[in-house]
């Protein structure tokens, strides 16, 4: 099939960008979206033009590197999927496809569709961990954890850190990303010890990094390739309410 | 006592919006219950107005609290909107919302409409600066004759239109706001998630319809001086 | 040269404890004077960087990804082994050791493997303490599953995303140290050279993949945890950024490359659909616990798999290996699949595929149980193939997945270059000629959390910290060489893209140096690779400049290194005149087509020393002795 692409091109972080039009010809329905871009890029290189820069790595939906807004949807039209797992059978011959980078103040564009997501790393550095050092820990069976809690923790821990929640949020908020980590660790006894400090530190870091606030629009959940539920944002709010008295009393 | 960064925390701001919103919504429910006394005729609503007046200083305490809640809700609402816009300096060329509602995305506009409507409503009913003057203002039992004011003013299409539009904004605002509030208070879970949105719309619709019914019924002649008194 | 693995003397079970007692320690106040450079932030790199920083060293960590959390360990699905014996099914450290040695077809060092089994239990404890949400039963205790090559259930897992969860645990530990200021992470940096001063590893040269700037970093020791080289086959289950570059650059600087021909072809991957294909997707080996592998008995059978009656199906793994059946080790399963497809019994496009059927398991356990166990894998399969594996069998085919070979290291994980340590998949040490499922995660974390912190101290305690900085002439020279090669790549202006050369190299390697290798095929590859490399340096086209984010330039450098490294791999395969594990030489097989090992002549590690591009590398041997295991013919029948 043949498609018309409108792709965001931007030489560097400091230069303005614009949408450019390209033709993608003889595309097979079995191709992944990124393979389609590979084919387009090979064509551009052959014509002496600069290929489109885009982030990608594992191409199996787990590393969280790929990051494109396709026709106004983060990771494109297929639910619970990353761009790399989106296949061209989702499109029809003659379609026009708009491809844009994640857009948020906290995710500056580096080039074309490549953005800087180091803000997400800094959120995890704000106590998005259990403060345990290597060695000297009890046997793994020392503390039984109810299956349902372990499952809830896993539901949240599946986050791949791609940033689609931020890209899709009308407010560019990272609340689902933060809530996934807060929810993951707060559901386990090992993470409870620091739960109060964690929820405060991570949400404060989110504000510092220039993400917007959560407006409960739930676009994040719809865009999340792992389908992480906004119930974790409700859990984050509960955790924060629990932490608040200590915070106010300066404990 | 209060950490200086506390009010910069996005969750604190959310909680402030939700809590002030809850107070405002509580007021709206009380206001509607009071308004419904109109269906009892002059003896209903005029007596209600009379009792309110008799609360004296308590009424002012109540009004002060309401003003504070409104102040917090509006100022943080504006602040959050500006901040959230700053968080995305460049809009998408194509944007296809999946889950969010028009009501949710336009909270600032429906909120500003409601603020304007509240101002109009205060000028109209509390300060009585708009519309034909009602004389005498006190009825035979020396109570404010709110009933007459209602049935006279709501025969005028302009007034009815403003009130109906105001209630449209109320519906819009609450349909997102109520469910959002429950989420912010952490009352949501996987099972309640699909229902809270629906419940929110339903309650918003009931409230807005309850208020709007009064001007509408009066305009179309279902409540008249004679009818209401009967 | 005969290499010395420096294994401690004494009984196997006491070696590591004894060695730990004998190694030197560094005073806590002195640790901060040492700077350690860690390249790669997967399981091995992140766990090492975090642990060393916790101990007090200053650490700089580098990764080519935009975040340390995206290293390819994240894609490991199935699980991690440990000898906990929580199931009471007879597991023990000794049994895990024996299974791993046997699984590796007796081509790994006994002492290393025993130590790996010993520390395996501590890994599980550590991960649970970090908040890794392993699967649990209703009593709240950890679940286990069985995995290929083992008859006990010793594999711990977190749904189908065990690697992800373990990596996030290590990444979070690393993030804690970043917050504490003890680690600096340099993401989007690719190591392009190793710097030696007086024969000791003292630093690295990296390219900032955003600005294109070439920078030098100096340290007291360098740790490479840069993964394997499976993309030498072009199509593999590895991430597209995975490359041999860091390890190969160390090799060019004098580090020995050991057993490069030991590559693992994973049996359960989604088959290729076309020429444009950029990668192959692995379906976790755990699927073989409940899936049955078969092909039609009639090679012309064109019916839908659901319409082929039971009697007309050949469950060839169950037929050939009755005691292990569908759980036969990876190398054996892969070769059996290749054999049936080569004989024309394959299914799907190009007849390169076999069925992995869940119908029996679905009938026995019900769809909810299967969904619970493998839901994400079935979803992934559906995304890629548009087929519903709950209704019809999956199609699978083997694909390059893991490389057991790697830089040669001694028992301390130190290469032959002092100060250069190599961890995880990047070294050669623990898996011999074939890695068992769920052992890669175990090895990466064992190296990073529990081995390198001890062994590196023993090295550092013998040197003076901060002896060299980047002003040393060796750094400037290395930087100039890197810049010269980048400029050379950019200046060629040929007609073919780097990806195009990579595809062609992949074809040569897959057909001649893949699952079944012959002397003639290997000789052919050794003729074709230099020709292709020659053409690459005449005809590759790299657009753009070096001073910007340039993904084509990154790719071209990696392909250039693969084009040299492929030759080393092929030479090693030619040298090893035996079949063992993932290395199958058609000349060396039994009458029924099984691998025939030659313990008399090849019970050694083949470690290759660089002698110049296009020159034959020099072979060094480390003899392998087996004092605690019986050198048996591996049988899974």
CA dihedral defined by B12, B15, B16, B22, rounded to 10 degrees?
A: -170
Q: What is the CATH number of the domain that holds C356?
A: 3.90.700.10
* Nearest chain A residue (CA) to B99: A219
CB proximity A115 to B under 8 Å: no
Q: Quote the pLDDT of residue B135.
A: 86
CB proximity A109 to C under 8 Å: no
Please compute the mean of the pLDDT values over residues C170-199 and round it to a whole number. Answer: 98
Do C365 and C383 belong to one domain?
Answer: yes
Domain ranges of chain B: 10-88+103-229
- Under the banding of pLDDT at 50, 70 and 90, the label for residue B2 is low
With CB atoms and an 8 Å threshold, state whether A184 touches C133: yes
Please compute the mean of the pLDDT values over residues B70-96 and round it to a whole number. Answer: 97
Chain A closest CA to B60's CA: distance in Å?
Answer: 30
Please compute the mean of the pLDDT values over residues A27-41 and round it to a whole number. Answer: 96
Q: Quote the pLDDT of residue B228.
A: 45
Q: Measured between CB atoms, which of C65, C129, C136 is closest to A132?
A: C129
Q: C593 versus C124: which is more confidently predicted?
A: C124
Percent of chain A with pLDDT over 90: 98
CB proximity B4 to A under 8 Å: no
Locus of tokens 């005149």? C577
Do C448 and C414 belong to one domain?
Answer: yes
Q: Quote the pLDDT of residue B230.
A: 35
Q: Quote the pLDDT of residue C380.
A: 86
With CB atoms and an 8 Å threshold, state whether A130 touches C130: yes
With CB atoms and an 8 Å threshold, state whether C131 touches A50: no
Each residue's pLDDT tens digit, A165-188: 999 999 999 999 999 999 999 999
Q: Quote the pLDDT of residue B1.
A: 46
**Count of Cβ atoms closer than 10 Å to residue C405 Cβ:** 30
CB C403, CB C228: distance < 8 Å: yes
Distance CA A180, CA C131 (A): 13
Do C430 and C281 belong to one domain?
Answer: no
What does DSSP assign to residue A127? T
Set of chain A residues whose Cβ sits within 8 Å of the Cβ of C130? 129-130, 132, 190
**Is residue C221 predicted with pLDDT exceeding 90?**
yes
A227 backbone dihedrals φ, ψ, rounded to 5°: 60, 35
Q: Looking at C344, C379, C400, which one is the last position of a domain? A: C400
CB proximity B84 to A under 8 Å: yes
Q: Quote the pLDDT of residue C636.
A: 74
**What are C554's two structure tokens?**
């990154």
Please compute the mean of the pLDDT values over residues C254-276 and round it to a whole number. Answer: 95
C447 backbone dihedrals φ, ψ, rounded to 5°: -60, -45
Nearest to A210 by CA among A127, A101, A102, A104: A104
Q: Residue by residue, what is the 3-state secondary structure of chain B?
A: CCCCCHHHCHHHHHHHHHHHHHHHHHHHHHHHHHHHHHHHCHHHHHHHHHHHHHCCHHHHHHHHHHHHHHHHHHHHHHHHHHHHHHCCCCCCCCCCCCCCCHHHHCHHHHHHHHHHHHHHHHHHHHCCCCCCCCCCCECCCCCECHHHHHHHHCCCHHHHHHHHHHHHHHHHHHHHHHHHHHHHCCCCCCCCHHHHHHHHHHHHHHHHHHHHHHHHHHHCCCCCHHHHHC
Each residue's pLDDT tens digit, B109-165: 999 999 999 999 999 999 999 999 988 899 989 999 999 999 999 999 999 999 999
Do C390 and C420 belong to one domain?
Answer: no
Nearest to C486 by CA among C148, C157, C245, C172: C245
Q: Quote the pLDDT of residue C274.
A: 87
Q: Measured between CB atoms, which of B10, B99, B193 is closest to A207?
A: B10
Distance CA C100, CA C581 (A): 12
With CB atoms and an 8 Å threshold, state whether A237 touches B13: no
Q: Quote the pLDDT of residue A99.
A: 98
Distance CA A206, CA A214 (A): 11
Set of chain A residues whose Cβ sits within 8 Å of the Cβ of C158? 154, 157
Give me chain A's average pLDDT, please. Answer: 97
**What are A119's two structure tokens?**
């803000």
* Nearest chain B residue (CA) to A237: B186
Distance CA B95, CA B108 (A): 19
Q: Quote the pLDDT of residue C100.
A: 96
CB proximity A187 to B under 8 Å: no
Each residue's pLDDT tens digit, C27-46: 999 999 999 999 999 999 99
**Is residue C382 predicted with pLDDT exceeding 60?**
yes
Do C444 and C375 belong to one domain?
Answer: no
**What are B96's two structure tokens?**
């296809």
As for how many domains chain C has, the answer is 2
Q: Quote the pLDDT of residue C59.
A: 98
With CB atoms and an 8 Å threshold, state whether C548 touches A158: no
Do C485 and C364 belong to one domain?
Answer: no
Do C429 and C442 belong to one domain?
Answer: yes
Chain B closest CA to A236's CA: distance in Å?
Answer: 8
Give me chain B's average pLDDT, please. Answer: 93
Distances (CA, A) of A10 to A19, A39, A112, A115, C357: 9, 20, 5, 11, 48
Q: For this structure, is C189 an active site residue? A: no
Set of chain A residues whose Cβ sits within 8 Å of the Cβ of B94? 69, 71-72, 98, 100
- Asked if residue C634 belongs to a domain, the reply is no
- Under the banding of pLDDT at 50, 70 and 90, the label for residue C245 is very high
Please compute the mean of the pLDDT values over residues A61-75 and round it to a whole number. Answer: 97
Expressed as residue numbers, the domain containing C42 is: 1-25+33-262+404-629
Please compute the mean of the pLDDT values over residues C442-462 and round it to a whole number. Answer: 98
Distances (CA, A) of B66 to B23, B126, B166, B176, B213: 7, 15, 19, 21, 24
Set of chain A residues whose Cβ sits within 8 Å of the Cβ of B91? 103
Among residues C330, C571, C576, C585, which one is catalytic? C330
CATH architecture label of A118-248: Orthogonal Bundle (1.10)
CB C226, CB C241: distance < 8 Å: no
Q: Quote the pLDDT of residue B5.
A: 75
Set of chain A residues whose Cβ sits within 8 Å of the Cβ of B5? 204
Of A34-48, C98-112, C236-250, C377-391, least confident by mean pLDDT is: C377-391
Do C358 and C410 belong to one domain?
Answer: no
Give the ipTM of the model, two decimals please: 0.98
Q: Quote the pLDDT of residue C377.
A: 87
Do C51 and C117 belong to one domain?
Answer: yes
Please compute the mean of the pLDDT values over residues B63-67 and round it to a whole number. Answer: 96
Q: Quote the pLDDT of residue B229.
A: 41
CB A111, CB C549: distance < 8 Å: yes
Chain C closest CA to A218's CA: distance in Å?
Answer: 23
**Is residue C269 predicted with pLDDT exceeding 60?**
yes
**Is residue C545 predicted with pLDDT exceeding 80?**
yes
Do C236 and C273 belong to one domain?
Answer: no
In terms of C-beta density within 10 A (0-12 exposed, 13-18 middle, 19 or more buried), how is residue C630 classed?
Answer: exposed
- Under the banding of pLDDT at 50, 70 and 90, the label for residue C273 is confident
CATH top-level class of B10-88+103-229: mainly alpha
Q: Tell me the CATH number for domain A3-111.
A: 3.10.20.30
Percent of chain A with pLDDT over 70: 100
CB proximity A90 to B under 8 Å: no
Please compute the mean of the pLDDT values over residues C304-330 and round it to a whole number. Answer: 93
Do C359 and C455 belong to one domain?
Answer: no
With CB atoms and an 8 Å threshold, state whether B10 touches A213: yes
Set of chain C residues whose Cβ sits within 8 Å of the Cβ of A48? 543
CB proximity A211 to B under 8 Å: yes
For chain A positions 4-63, those within 8 Å of chain B (CB to CB) are 6, 8, 19
Q: Quote the pLDDT of residue A251.
A: 59
Do C274 and C244 belong to one domain?
Answer: no
- Under the banding of pLDDT at 50, 70 and 90, the label for residue B227 is very low
Set of chain A residues whose Cβ sits within 8 Å of the Cβ of C133? 150-151, 153-154, 157, 184, 187-188
CB proximity C181 to A under 8 Å: no
Tell whether the torsion through CA atoms of B153, B156, B162 and B165 is positive or negative: positive
Q: Looking at C366, C400, C434, which one is the last position of a domain? A: C400
CB proximity C141 to A under 8 Å: yes
Q: Measured between CB atoms, which of A80, A135, A144 is closest to C140?
A: A144
Same topology between domain A3-111 and domain A118-248? no
Domain ranges of chain A: 3-111, 118-248
Q: Quote the pLDDT of residue C594.
A: 86
CB proximity B91 to A under 8 Å: yes
Please compute the mean of the pLDDT values over residues C593-617 and round it to a whole number. Answer: 95
Q: Looking at C400, C433, C463, which one is the last position of a domain? A: C400
Q: What angle do CA C223, C228, C234 make, to 5 degrees?
A: 145
Percent of chain C with pLDDT over 90: 90
**Residues with Cβ < 8 Å from C430, sequence gap 6 or more?**
C100, C104, C108, C109, C112, C113, C116, C439, C443
Which strands form C618-623's sheet, in the order they lie side by side? C406-407, C257-258, C604-609, C618-623
Q: Measured between CB atoms, which of A73, A171, A204 is closest to B84?
A: A171
CB proximity C275 to A under 8 Å: no
DSSP one-letter string for C528-549? HHHHHHHHHHHHB---S-SSS-
Which strands form A18-24's sheet, in the order they lie side by side? A18-24, A3-9, A96-100, A69-70, A73-74
Distance CA C148, CA C541 (A): 44
Interface probe with B: pick from A13, A234, A246, most Cβ of B within 10 Å? A234
Q: Quote the pLDDT of residue B3.
A: 63
């Amino acid at each position: 099939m043949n498609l018309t692409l409108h792709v965001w091109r931007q030489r560097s972080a400091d230069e303005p960008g614009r949408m450019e039009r390209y033709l993608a010809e003889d595309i097979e329905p079995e191709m992944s979206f990124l393979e389609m871009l590979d084919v387009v890029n090979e064509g551009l290189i052959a014509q002496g033009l600069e290929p489109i820069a885009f982030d990608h790595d594992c191409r199996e939906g787990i590393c969280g590197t790929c990051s494109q807004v396709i026709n106004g949807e983060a990771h494109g039209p297929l639910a619970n999927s990353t761009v790399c797992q989106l296949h061209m059978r989702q499109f029809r011959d003659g379609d026009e496809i708009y491809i844009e980078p994640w857009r948020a103040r906290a995710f500056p564009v580096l080039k074309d569709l490549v953005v800087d997501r180091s803000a997400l790393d800094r959120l995890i550095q704000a106590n998005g961990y259990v403060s345990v050092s290597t060695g000297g820990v009890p046997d793994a069976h020392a503390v039984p954890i109810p299956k349902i809690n372990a499952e809830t923790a896993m539901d949240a821990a599946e986050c791949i850190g791609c940033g689609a929640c931020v890209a899709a949020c009308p407010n560019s908020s990272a609340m689902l990303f933060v809530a996934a980590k807060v929810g993951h660790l707060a559901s386990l006894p090992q993470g409870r010890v620091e739960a109060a400090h964690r929820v405060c530190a991570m949400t404060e870091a989110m504000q510092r990094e220039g993400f917007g606030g959560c407006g409960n629009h739930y676009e994040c959940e719809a865009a999340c390739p792992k389908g992480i539920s906004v119930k974790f944002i409700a859990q984050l709010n509960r955790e924060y309410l629990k932490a608040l008295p200590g915070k106010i009393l300066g404990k | 006592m209060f950490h200086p960064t506390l009010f910069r925390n996005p969750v604190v701001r959310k909680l402030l919006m939700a809590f002030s919103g809850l107070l405002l919504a509580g007021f709206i429910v009380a206001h509607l219950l009071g308004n419904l006394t109109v269906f009892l005729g002059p003896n209903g609503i005029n007596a209600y107005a009379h009792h309110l007046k008799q609360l004296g200083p308590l009424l002012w305490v109540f009004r002060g609290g309401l003003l504070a809640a409104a102040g917090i809700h509006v100022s943080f609402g504006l602040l959050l909107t500006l901040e959230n816009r700053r968080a995305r300096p460049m809009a998408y060329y194509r944007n296809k919302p999946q889950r969010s509602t028009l009501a949710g995305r336009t909270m600032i506009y429906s909120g500003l409409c409601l603020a304007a409507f509240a101002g109009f409503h205060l000028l109209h009913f509390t300060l009585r600066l708009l519309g034909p003057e009602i004389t005498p203002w006190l009825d035979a039992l020396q109570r404010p004759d709110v009933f007459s004011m209602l049935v006279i003013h709501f025969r005028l299409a302009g007034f009815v239109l403003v009130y109906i539009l105001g209630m449209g904004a109320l519906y819009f605002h609450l349909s997102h706001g109520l469910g959002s509030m429950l989420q912010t208070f952490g009352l949501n879970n996987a099972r309640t998630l699909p229902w809270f949105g629906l419940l929110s719309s339903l309650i918003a619709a009931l409230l807005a319809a309850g208020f709007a019914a009064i001007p509408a019924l009066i305009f179309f002649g279902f409540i008249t001086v004679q009818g209401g008194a009967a | 040269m005969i290499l010395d693995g420096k294994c401690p003397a004494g009984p196997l079970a006491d070696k590591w404890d004894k060695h730990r007692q004998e190694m030197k320690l560094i005073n806590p106040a002195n640790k901060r004077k040492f700077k350690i450079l860690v390249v790669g932030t997967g399981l091995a790199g992140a766990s090492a960087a975090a642990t060393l920083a916790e101990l007090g060293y200053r650490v700089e960590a580098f990764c080519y990804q935009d975040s340390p959390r995206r290293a390819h360990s994240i894609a490991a699905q199935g699980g991690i082994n440990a000898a906990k014996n929580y199931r009471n099914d007879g597991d023990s450290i000794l049994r895990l050791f024996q299974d791993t040695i046997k699984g590796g077809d007796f081509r790994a060092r006994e002492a290393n493997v025993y130590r790996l089994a010993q520390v395996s239990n501590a890994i599980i404890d550590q991960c649970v303490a970090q908040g890794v949400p392993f699967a649990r039963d209703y009593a709240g205790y950890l679940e286990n599953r069985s995995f290929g090559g083992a008859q006990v259930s010793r594999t711990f897992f977190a749904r189908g995303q065990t690697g992800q969860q373990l990596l996030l645990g290590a990444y979070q530990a690393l993030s804690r140290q970043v917050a504490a200021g003890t680690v600096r992470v340099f993401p989007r940096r690719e190591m392009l050279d190793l710097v030696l001063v007086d024969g000791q590893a003292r630093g690295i040269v990296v390219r900032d993949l955003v600005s294109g700037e070439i920078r030098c970093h100096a340290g007291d020791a360098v740790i490479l945890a840069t993964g394997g080289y499976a993309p030498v086959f072009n199509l593999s289950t590895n991430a597209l950024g995975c490359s041999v570059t860091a390890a190969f650059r160390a090799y060019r600087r004098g580090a020995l490359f050991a057993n490069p021909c030991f590559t693992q072809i994973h049996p359960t991957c989604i088959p290729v659909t076309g020429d444009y294909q950029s990668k192959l997707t692995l379906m976790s080996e755990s699927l073989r616990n409940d899936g049955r592998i078969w092909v039609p008995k009639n090679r012309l059978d064109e019916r839908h798999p659901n319409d082929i009656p039971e009697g007309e199906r050949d469950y060839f793994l169950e037929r050939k290996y009755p005691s292990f059946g569908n759980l036969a080790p990876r190398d054996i399963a892969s070769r059996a699949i290749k054999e049936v497809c080569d004989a024309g019994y394959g299914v799907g496009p190009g007849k390169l595929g076999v069925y992995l059927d869940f119908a029996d398991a679905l009938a026995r356990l019900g769809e909810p149980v299967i969904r619970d166990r493998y839901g994400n894998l079935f979803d992934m399969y559906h995304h890629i193939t548009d087929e519903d594996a709950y209704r019809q069998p999956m199609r699978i085919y083997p694909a390059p997945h893991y490389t057991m070979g790697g830089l040669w290291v001694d028992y301390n994980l130190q290469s032959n270059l002092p100060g250069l340590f190599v961890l995880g998949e990047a070294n050669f040490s623990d898996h011999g000629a074939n890695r068992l499922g769920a052992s890669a995660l175990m090895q990466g974390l064992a190296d990073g959390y529990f081995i390198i912190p001890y062994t590196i101290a023993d090295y550092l305690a013998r040197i003076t910290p901060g002896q060299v900085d980047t002003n040393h002439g060796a750094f400037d020279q290395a930087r100039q060489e890197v810049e010269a090669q980048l400029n050379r790549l950019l200046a060629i202006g040929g007609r073919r893209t780097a990806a195009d050369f990579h595809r062609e190299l992949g074809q040569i390697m897959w057909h001649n140096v893949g699952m079944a290798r012959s002397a003639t095929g290997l000789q052919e590859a050794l003729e074709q690779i230099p020709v292709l490399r020659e053409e690459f340096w005449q005809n590759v086209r790299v657009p753009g400049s070096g001073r910007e984010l340039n993904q084509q330039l990154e790719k071209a450098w990696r392909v250039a290194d693969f084009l040299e490294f492929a030759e080393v791999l092929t030479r090693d395969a030619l040298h090893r005149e035996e079949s063992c594990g993932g290395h199958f030489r058609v000349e060396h097989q039994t009458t029924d087509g099984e691998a025939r090992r030659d313990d008399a002549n090849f019970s050694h590690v083949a470690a290759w020393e660089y002698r110049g591009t296009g020159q034959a590398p020099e072979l060094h041997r480390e003899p392998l002795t087996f004092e605690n295991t019986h050198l048996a013919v591996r049988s899974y029948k």
